[in-house]
Amino acid sequence: MPTVAFIGLGNMGGPMAANLVKAGVRVYGFDVVPAAMETASTNGITVVDDPLEAVAQAEVVLTMLPSGQQVISAYQDSPGLLSAARPGTIFLDCSTINISEAQQAAELAQQSGFRAADAPVSGGVVGAEAGTLAFMVGAGDEVFAEIEPLLEIMGARVVHCGTNGLGQAAKICNNMILGITQIAVGEAFVLGEKLGLTHQALFDVVSKASGQCWALTTNCPVPGPVPTSPANRNYQPGFAGALMAKDLNLATNALDEQGVQAQLGRLATEIYSEFAQGEGAGQDFSAIINTIRENSQP
């Protein structure tokens, strides 16, 4: 297995790096937050004070950072990660960022003579800890073949979506569907309540009918029908409203760039942006049902 420089050891990166170490991969890690470095160190990651030192040891430089601007800055701001890499290094970005930023990051790496891939994930912190993430990969065939074994350590599903940027494209399209359907399920349950349907009766019908979807059968927004859904633990995430708002904003940026109409995608972005300005930011995104209910006075 290639040696990995892991940059960004936060909620997702920390457990992902720990799983690589458990599988016997040599991992050098860096984070700007000392507490993240300390946790990583206890999990067997060789932490270094200078990210360039990690990169100089590595064959794969994996970034797991909050935004595209942070990825691009980390790559190129002097002295950037690109300045320290060895010939043949693969720059593998697993952050969720704009498609155009993913393409720009790949171009920067390629212009410096390196190889690049985007591989955003779904599955959240629980999936990162369990090593069951789904990876959506944008890369050439040869790069994909080299990184696939590493991704299989951290994930349960790895899909090669096409060339650079198309991993992000798949992730953003999926999460646009997810945001829209979670709102739709919330609206249907509030309407059902008003009409006198019990949550269980509505669930029993829809979960076996044409309205069936993940937002209902796994992330059911009311307590009861699906005991493991966040609604049963006061909407503790799960997938936080702030992250859904972030991903929908990425989707809207892509819709604008491509000139796609997508009225529902744009409306979902507005709804979750507002939701994430308040306490919804830290709640599971299925708590949008509470906003719908509050705004549903006769």
Catalytic residues: 171
Q: d(Cα 20, Cα 189) in Å, to the nearest integer?
A: 42
The residues in 236-255 that bind ligand NAD, with binding defined as CB under 6 A, are 239, 243, 246
DSSP 70: H
Chain residue whose CB lies nearest ligand NAD: 10
Over the window 6 to 25, marking each residue x when it contacts ligand NAD by CB under 6 A and - when it does not, the resulting string is -xxxxxxx------------
According to the binding rule CB under 6 A, does residue 5 interact with ligand NAD? no
Helix intervals (H) in the chain:
13-22, 34-42, 51-57, 68-76, 99-111, 124-130, 141-154, 166-195, 199-206, 214-217, 241-258, 263-275, 288-294
Task: With contacts defined by CB under 6 A, name the span among 63-71, 108-116, 197-205, 285-293 that binds ligand NAD.
Answer: 63-71
Nearest alpha-carbon partner for 122 in 247, 253, 14: 247
Residue in 31, 93, 146, 284 binding ligand NAD, rule: CB under 6 A: 31
Question: Hey, what are 30's tokens?
Answer: 């860096």
Tell me if 191 contacts ligand NAD by CB under 6 A: no
Q: Does 132 bind ligand NAD (CB under 6 A)?
A: no
Q: Tell whether residue 165 is a contact of ligand NAD (CB under 6 A).
A: no
Nearer to ligand NAD, 192 or 219 (CB): 219
Q: How far apart are CA 154 and CA 27, in angstroms?
A: 13
What binding mask, one character per residue, do residues 36-55 give for ligand NAD by CB under 6 A, x or -?
x-------------------
CB of 71 to ligand NAD, least distance (A): 9
Query: Looking at 21, 61, 64, 134, which residue binds ligand NAD (CB under 6 A)?
Result: 64
CA distance 7 to 151: 16
Shortest CB 210 distance to ligand NAD, Å? 29
Residue type at 295 in one-letter notation: N
**How far is residue 234 from each of residues 207, 283, 294, measured CA to CA in Å?**
22, 8, 16
Six-digit token pair at 143? 């790069």
- In the complex, the residues that contact ligand NAD under the rule CB under 6 A are 7-13, 30-33, 36, 64-66, 70, 74, 95-96, 121-122, 124-125, 239, 243, 246
